[in-house]
Structure 1
């Protein structure tokens, strides 16, 4: 079992550099960070977990800038998005940002992706929530072409471009791993694009019921990373029993001193299973 951390890096919490250094010092293998470009003041989309939308959603730093900073103070830590909102992202810029991160980190970038839930946020980017799944698939296909082809081209309903040069290419071959977030409705996307499933808001019991369907849809055994895991030994042991590759402990958005204390607590739990 591998252990990493998932969190929202904001202007109110620990800064990227001390966070990255602290994670590597405590032998965590990875960091996955969330993104939201903005939160519309008038929002009708309900928060998936219920209740009021936490303030951290309003204040996220740009994930690739933050991860690039962390790359400069770490040597082993995997640097992932959890998740990049592909319907809201230009594929040319996203391909270049991930490839650049992979280059400057020496091959440690992971692109965690999803379709998102905030319909108003999507619409502000010109994305139709009704077709965000198809849009996501085409943009992922385009990103893969930009990473892997010397003269990349793509022709779809939403993404269409003639042969183009796009550099840098990623360090990792054939490309940085893609971790596909979302529930069972996205298993076809895991099958087509995913190097792993990034499962969110689940328990070992819920996950167990989904794994057989995942592997059936994908036609192969798919590695699973679980996002946002609480400090709970019973849950960790449940994930170990299911053969999960990695758990990402949830780190609340906290000032530096409190964040480091919380990381010590999480590292102590992870150490029991290493």
Structure 2
């Protein structure tokens, strides 16, 4: 299983370059950064929806599904349904997973490809401490 980090970057937290180096140094495989700082007032395209509403689109166009922080007992049936619709083994990444080995063990039983720990926006010393804990937990499952 792969482990990564997702976070929002602001002026209140660690700088992006330092964060990227710290993630790599700890053997985490990915860093996902929020891509927007605001939601526009005028949307020119409809909101595509998420969750199971996205399954047909993922099956037809995508190569993976980013599941938003669902607990393992709820996620398992959704993964089965998605893979049934797609007719193939669709890789799944779970966003904002708690740093709790008992929960991570349950995700391993679902054969997800990657778990993303949610990293709160904090000053560099606290951020590095969080990353150390994430790395220690991830090492238990490699």
State the TM-score, normalizing by the size of structure 2.
0.93
State how 1:59-138 maps to structure 2 within 5 Å.
Answer: 121-122=39-40, 124-127=41-44, 131-133=46-48
In the alignment, does 2:125 pair up with 1:254?
Answer: no
Structure 2 Cα separation of the partners of residues 185 and 126 of structure 1: 19
Q: How many residues align?
A: 142
Q: 1:92-130: per-residue Cα shift (whole Å, max 9, x none)?
A: xxxxxxxxxxxxxxxxxxxxxxxxxxxxx34x24425xx
- Which residue, out of 194, 200, 203, partners 2:71? 203
- 1:68 aligned partner: none
3-state SS of 2:81 partner: helix
In the alignment, does 2:13 pair up with 1:13?
Answer: yes
- 1:90 aligned partner: none
**Is this contact kept in 2: 1:182–1:198, CA < 8 A?**
no
**Is this contact kept in 2: 1:5–1:251, CA < 8 A?**
yes
Structure 1 residue 192, shift from structure 2 partner: 2.0
Structure 2 Cα separation of the partners of residues 24 and 3 of structure 1: 11
In the alignment, does 2:58 pair up with 1:190?
Answer: yes
State how 1:140-219 maps to structure 2 within 5 Å.
Answer: 182-219=50-87
Return 5+ residue gaps in structure 1 as ranges: 39-120, 134-180
Q: 1:179-234: per-residue Cα shift (whole Å, max 9, x none)?
A: xx931111112112211101112011111120121012212110111111111111
3-state SS of 2:47 partner: helix
Q: CA RMSD in A?
A: 1.5
State the TM-score, normalizing by the size of structure 1.
0.49
- 2:106 aligned partner: 238
- Which residue, out of 114, 125, 133, partners 1:265? 133
3-state SS of 2:32 partner: strand
Choose 1 or 2 for highest CA Rg: 1
Structure 2 Cα separation of the partners of residues 37 and 127 of structure 1: 18
3-state SS of 1:36 partner: coil
Return 5+ residue gaps in structure 2 as ranges: none
3-state SS of 1:263 partner: helix
